Amino acid sequence: MAKIAVIVDQGFEDSELIKPLEAFANAGHQTVILGMKKGDTVKGKKEGTPITIEEEIQNANVHDFDALLIPGGHSPDRLRAHPQPVDFTREFIDSGKPVFSICHGPQLLITAKRLKGRTLTGYKSIIQDIKNAGATFVDQEVVVDDNLVTSRHPADLPAFCKACLERL
């Protein structure tokens, strides 16, 4: 089964983390919560769901994982302010392994400068950011472009989780 890196910080969208984690666990996959400081507890923006950082992003190695999940909310914007999450994301995209990103998750992909020529979706407030990064925006519940799987918002989670599991 796959080992999935999950990159989060404060203010993640609760359902966009919890629902994929449940889907991955039910399918027998392993997840590892990556963040800025091991042992810290970060909380979701709406429900305050607490998640403990299991491994520091600067100590994580792309080669140890089979896929990457980037939930939305405020978390991707916070993460892209630091070089380690951006570098990890860039390396993951370049590896060709699956990258799953929902809602505001593409903000981290944009900062990693790996969207030129790609097709994806994301939350409506970042449509122009996606286009400015050189990507084609498509307004649909899930978009798969090679190793990149994206969705717009929590209502798309059933299709998003299904597409992620198919890539694994």
- Residue 119's CB: how many other CB atoms inside 10 A? 16
- Residue 155's CB: how many other CB atoms inside 10 A? 11
153 domain-assigned: yes
| Residues 20, 24, 161, 112, Cα dihedral to 10° | 70
pTM, full prediction: 0.97
Catalytic center residues: 103
Query: Whole domain around residue 13: which residue ranges?
Result: 3-160
48 domain-assigned: yes
137 domain-assigned: yes
Contacts of 34 (CB under 8 A, 6+ apart): 5, 6, 7, 8, 53, 54, 55, 56, 57, 60, 88
DSSP 8-state class, residue 12: B
Average pLDDT of the residues of the chain: 97
DSSP 8-state class, residue 138: -
Tell me what pLDDT residue 155 has: 97
What is the total count of domains within the chain?
Answer: 1
Q: How far apart are CA 27 and CA 104, in angstroms?
A: 25
168 domain-assigned: no
CATH number of the CATH domain containing 102: 3.40.50.880
Environment class of residue 166 by beta-carbon count within 10 Å: exposed (0-12), middle (13-18) or buried (19+)? exposed
Name the band, by pLDDT with cuts 50, 70 and 90, for residue 35. Answer: very high
Tell me what pLDDT residue 68 has: 98
20 domain-assigned: yes
167 domain-assigned: no
Query: Residues 135-152: what's their mean pLDDT?
Result: 98
Greatest C-alpha distance within the chain: 38
Q: What is the tens place of the pLDDT at every residue in 121-130?
A: 999 999 999 9
Annotate 44-59 with DSSP letters as a single string: BSSS--EEE--EEGGG
Q: What is the tens place of the pLDDT at every residue in 82-96?
A: 999 999 999 999 999
124 domain-assigned: yes
